[in-house]
Amino acid sequence: MDFFLQQCVNALQWGSFYALIALGYTLVYGVLRLINFAHGDIFMVGAYISFFASTFFLSPDGPSLSRELALALTVPCSVILTSGVGVTLERIAYRPLRRKGAHRLYVVITALMCGLVLENGNLALLGASRKALPDLLEKHIYVIGPVAVTNLKLLVIFVALLVFILLHAIVSKTRIGMAMRAVSWDKFALPLMGIPLDRVIVFTFMLGSGIAGLGGMLFAMSYPVLDPYMGAMTGWKAFIAAVVGGIGDIRGAFAGGFLLAFVEIMVAAFLPSTFRDLFAFSILLLILWKRPTGMFGLPITTKI
């Protein structure tokens, strides 16, 4: 039982990463019906940006700041710069295709290529040696009953929850959020209401990529070894989590992320860990078989 509870905490942390990435997939899909397959690599870029930012802030020849201050400055750096990367991708890769009215297939292939460009561009630029994020947080371990949890784990889970609540508020309460929901239903009518479609799309990419940047930074703090391919598999899995949750729905992305992490961690904890992906994906397949639109997804119908 103690072991199980401990694994639950681990699943919550691992699920937070999936959830933070899945939110970006689901936002962009919800608004554009586009699966932004470069999103996992945007997460990777976020981790690297946090590496460069924190190394710079801590460097004795540079600002040489305290750890707390460096952490406080690295967060906005990662979020803002990563969202800049996402917006740039939208500008140079997706928008021209949208303007030409290209078929969705071409857009998806473009997204895959953007991902590869980010991965291999990173490899070419920075070389294959792995980077290690400097320590930004003094480690504390809290023992609550049978469970031991670090302050970093708590921070990760707390941030994921906070991001979800904020995002939910933005989408359901604000005007731009209302416009995002409107686009997800009907892109054609939005300009007729005087709303610039491109601005809504850019805002969506900003949100999604910014969240991925934050996720990348927290991931790098938890597992401080960075490599250019770190976003690929994690990104794929987060995408699957978003689909299982019901892609296009932010509650779905959040729940799907935690569900996937829970299954993975528990399988690895109680069965040979090589079974992890087999079991995880089989369970997800079962869910999709029973509910093809995911846990929160609804099939869309229109009235003529």
Partner 1 sequence: MISVENLYAAYGKIEALHGVSFHVRQGEIVTLIGSNGAGKSTTLKALMRLAPPESPTVTGGDIRFNGRSLLNVEPHDVVDRFKMTLVPEGRHIFGNLTVMENLSLSAWTRKNEDTRKTLDHIFGLFPRLAERSRQRSDTLSGGEQQMLAVGRALMTNCSVLLLDEPSMGLAPVLMYDMFRTLKRLNDTGLTIVVVEQNARLALEVADRAYVLDTGEIVAEGSGEELMRRPEIREAYLGG
Distance between CA atoms of residues 146 and 94, nearest Å: 50
Two tokens, residue 268: 């690895």
Nearer to partner 1, 274 or 301 (CB): 301
Nearer to partner 1, 33 or 67 (CB): 33
Nearer to partner 1, 100 or 139 (CB): 100
Nearer to partner 1, 60 or 194 (CB): 194
Nearer to partner 1, 103 or 140 (CB): 103
Residue 135, phi then psi, degrees to nearest 5: -65, 125
Distance between CA atoms of residues 179 and 174, nearest Å: 9
Give 81-84's long-range contacts (Cβ < 8 A, gap of 24+).
81/49, 81/53, 81/213, 82/42, 82/45, 82/46, 82/49, 82/209, 82/210, 82/212, 82/213, 82/214, 82/216, 83/205, 83/206, 83/207, 83/209, 83/210, 83/213, 84/209
Nearer to partner 1, 147 or 182 (CB): 182
Run of H or E including 144 = strand 141-144
Nearer to partner 1, 137 or 170 (CB): 170
Least distance to partner 1, CB of residue 141, Å: 45
Least distance to partner 1, CB of residue 186, Å: 5
Residue 288, phi then psi, degrees to nearest 5: -70, -30
Distance between CA atoms of residues 210 and 217, nearest Å: 11
Distance between CA atoms of residues 145 and 285, nearest Å: 36
Residues that bind partner 1 (CB under 8 A): 99, 101, 175, 178-179, 181-182, 184-186, 188-197, 301-304
Contact assessment for residue 42 and residue 212, using Cβ atoms and an 8 Å cutoff: yes
**Cβ contacts of 187 within 8 Å, gap of 6 or more:** 32, 197
Least distance to partner 1, CB of residue 196, Å: 5
Nearer to partner 1, 15 or 177 (CB): 177
Residue 139, phi then psi, degrees to nearest 5: -80, 130
Least distance to partner 1, CB of residue 163, Å: 23
Least distance to partner 1, CB of residue 259, Å: 24
DSSP readout, 177-228? HHHHHHHHH-TTTGGGGT--HHHHHHHHHHHHHHHHHHHHHHHHHHS-EE-T
Least distance to partner 1, CB of residue 192, Å: 5
Least distance to partner 1, CB of residue 294, Å: 16
Least distance to partner 1, CB of residue 300, Å: 8
